[in-house]
Amino acid sequence: MKPAPFRNYVEVLPGLYQVRTKGSKAYLIVEDDITLIDTGSPGSGERILRAVEELGRSPEDIKHIIITHYHIDHVGGLSELQEWVPGKTGVHLAEAHHVESHRPLPNPFQHPWLARICEPYLLRNDPGAARVDVVLNDGDELPALGGMRIVHAPGHTAGSISLHFPNRGVLLVGDAMQYKFGRLMLPSRMFSQDMPEAAASVQKLASLDFETLCFSHFRPILEGADRKVREFACTLPPK
Ligand SMILES: [Zn+2]
């Protein structure tokens, strides 16, 4: 028996694919047009385009790129991809300026000592300025997967967004939550700007209905995910 060919993507649901990039996971929504969610760390562009080609499509089909937040492992491949694909890029209002700026991305480490140690590495790998075509706000809607709603979920960063697809029962949370050892958790304290706000965002997300929950660093929860988020939200202190 021939081994299965290596693929750069995994199907989560029909039309929704997870792509392992450098540093995180991006998502492709493949319909008449393709919507790309996040772009990995610098150097991830080729891997994302290879996944698009493996799906039998072309880079020109990527018409929308949505960034969940400005951390380098989500926005790092954006400027390189913008040279190859025509898609319009959307970033939340609170952090579009970080993505567009010619200054390095803000240091994500919250501990001042760690921030200082990692600063040279971050500066060396900074992806540089990228284009933002659409500034996103809470409640904005795009057509992907029968309707994609932008849910502002600050805390990890000020402009973090989650993406809710009510018609397909999917919530994609970026880094707004972690899922380790079968347990939901708040985002990493090491990289999150405001933990009480992150907890309030989980409570906001717990009010949504969905079956499948997708993360940027963990495997998805495919069934009954909203109940799990509600149970987790009940354990968090009210803001
Ligand atoms: Zn992050």
Q: 156 C-alpha to center of ligand 1: Å?
A: 7
pLDDT of 17 higher than 80: yes
Q: 226 C-alpha to center of ligand 1: Å?
A: 22
pLDDT grade, residue 6 (50/70/90)? confident
100 inside domain: yes
188 inside domain: yes
Residue-wise pLDDT tens digits, 131-179: 999 999 999 999 999 999 999 999 999 999 999 999 999 999 999 999 9
Q: Which residues form the domain of 30?
A: 9-234
Q: Can you give the pLDDT at residue 191?
A: 94
4 inside domain: no
> Which CATH number is 193's domain given?
3.60.15.10
Q: 5 C-alpha to center of ligand 1: Å?
A: 31
Residue-wise pLDDT tens digits, 218-238: 999 999 999 999 999 999 987
Lowest mean pLDDT among 3-12, 16-25, 76-85, 207-216: 3-12
Listed residues: CB within 5 A of ion ligand 1: 71, 175
Residue-wise pLDDT tens digits, 69-124: 999 999 999 999 999 998 999 999 999 999 999 999 999 999 999 999 999 999 99
pLDDT of 1 higher than 70: no
207 inside domain: yes
Q: Given the DSSP bridges, would you call strands 88-92 and 183-185 parallel, antiparallel or unpaired?
A: unpaired
Average pLDDT score over residue span 42-70 = 97
Q: 54 C-alpha to center of ligand 1: Å?
A: 28
Q: Can you give the pLDDT at residue 238?
A: 74
Q: Can you give the pLDDT at residue 237?
A: 82
Q: Do 144 and 30 contact (CB within 8 A), yes or no?
A: no
1 inside domain: no
Instruction: Retrieve residue 172's tokens.
Output: 């994609």
Q: 192 C-alpha to center of ligand 1: Å?
A: 7
Complete edge-to-edge strand list for the sheet that includes strand 141-142? 141-142, 148-152, 161-165, 170-172, 212-214
Instruction: Retrieve residue 113's tokens.
Output: 């000592």
Q: 88 C-alpha to center of ligand 1: Å?
A: 22
215 inside domain: yes
Domain count for the chain: 1
Q: Can you give the pLDDT at residue 2?
A: 64
**Who contacts 51 (Cβ-Cβ below 8 Å, separation ≥6)?**
7, 8, 9, 17, 19, 28
Q: How far is CA 191 from CA 72, 114, 147, 176, 220, in A?
A: 12, 11, 30, 11, 21
22 inside domain: yes
**b/e per residue, 143-162, with b = 16+ CB within 10 A?**
ebbeebbbbbbbbbbbbbbb
